[in-house]
Amino acid sequence: MKRVAILISGGGSNMVKLAESMTTDHPARPVVVIANDPNAGGLAKAADLGIPTAVVDHREFNKDRNAFEAVLHATLEEYQPDIICLAGFMRILTGGFTAHYAGRMLNIHPSLLPKYKGLHTHARALEAGDAEHGCTVHEVTADLDDGPVLGQARIAIQRGDTPDDLAARLLPMEHQLYPAVLRRFAAGDRTPIFLPKAGAMP
Ligand code: GRF
């Protein structure tokens, strides 16, 4: 049975879907949820699911990334994770940290990578006049939002869409994609998953 640590910064809706999916014949189980913000709404949701939680507050390290990551690493190692899932975790990790977890750390990003790495992905897709948008689960490497793609889901962009409209329509796709990728990845299979496109205009 693979041990999964989930890192969050906010509400944790992806974390909840990942945790709820890891039951019965799933090859993995959640062992800890760690947040970099003590006010992250996902901490209470994890506790309600009976998952141990921890906080490593990046603000306590005065922008010293290495010091923050040293404590994050020590906290993770207490739980001996086989796999780490970044789920709405908004801290950029250094190459040294990602190298330590190379090949076993995943992230979900709200764009069709390699398009729109970084922030404000919904607004950028609209500004570019794209016809479709989506989300990507990828392995984490030293370069931000750049590692091997393990899954993607697409949505159609509709006339009059705002960034909030896209975010709201994309989140349910994230909640389908990430658990599906984790189940396959935890079984040792890196074959990418591409979900059928949602919301195409008739
Ligand atoms: C998601 O849209 C995810 O793609 C992005 O941050 C959002 C987090 O949502 N990285 P939640 O905290 O999982 O609800």
Structure confidence at residue 200 as a pLDDT band (50, 70, 90): low
Q: Does the structure show a pLDDT above 80 at 8? A: yes
Q: What tens digit of pLDDT does each residue of 159-177 get?
A: 999 999 999 999 999 999 9
CA distance 162 to 153: 19
Tell me which residue has its CA closest to atom 5 in ligand 1.
Answer: 88
Are β-strands 132-139 and 149-156 bridged in parallel, bridged antiparallel, or unpaired? antiparallel
CA of 183 to the centre of ligand 1 (A): 19
The confidence score (pLDDT) of residue 128 equals 98
CA of 44 to the centre of ligand 1 (A): 16
Q: Is 37 in the pocket of ligand 1 (CB under 6 A)?
A: no
User: Is 120:111 a contact under the CB 8 Å cutoff?
Assistant: no
Q: Is 118 in the pocket of ligand 1 (CB under 6 A)?
A: no
Q: Which residues of 97-121 are buried (b: 16+ CB within 10 A; e: fewer)?
A: bbeebeebbbbbbbbbbeebeeeeb
Kind plus residue range of the DSSP H or E element containing 14: helix 13-21
Q: Is 134 in the pocket of ligand 1 (CB under 6 A)?
A: no
Known active-site residue 109? yes
Pocket of ligand 1, candidates 8, 165, 174: which has the most ligand atoms within 8 Å of its Cβ, to mutate? 174
> What is the pTM for the complete model shown?
0.96
**C-alpha distances in Å from residue 156, one per residue of 76, 113, 133:** 38, 16, 6
Tell me which residue has its CA closest to atom 14 in ligand 1.
Answer: 13
The confidence score (pLDDT) of residue 197 equals 80
Question: By three-state DSSP, how is residue 45 classified?
Answer: helix
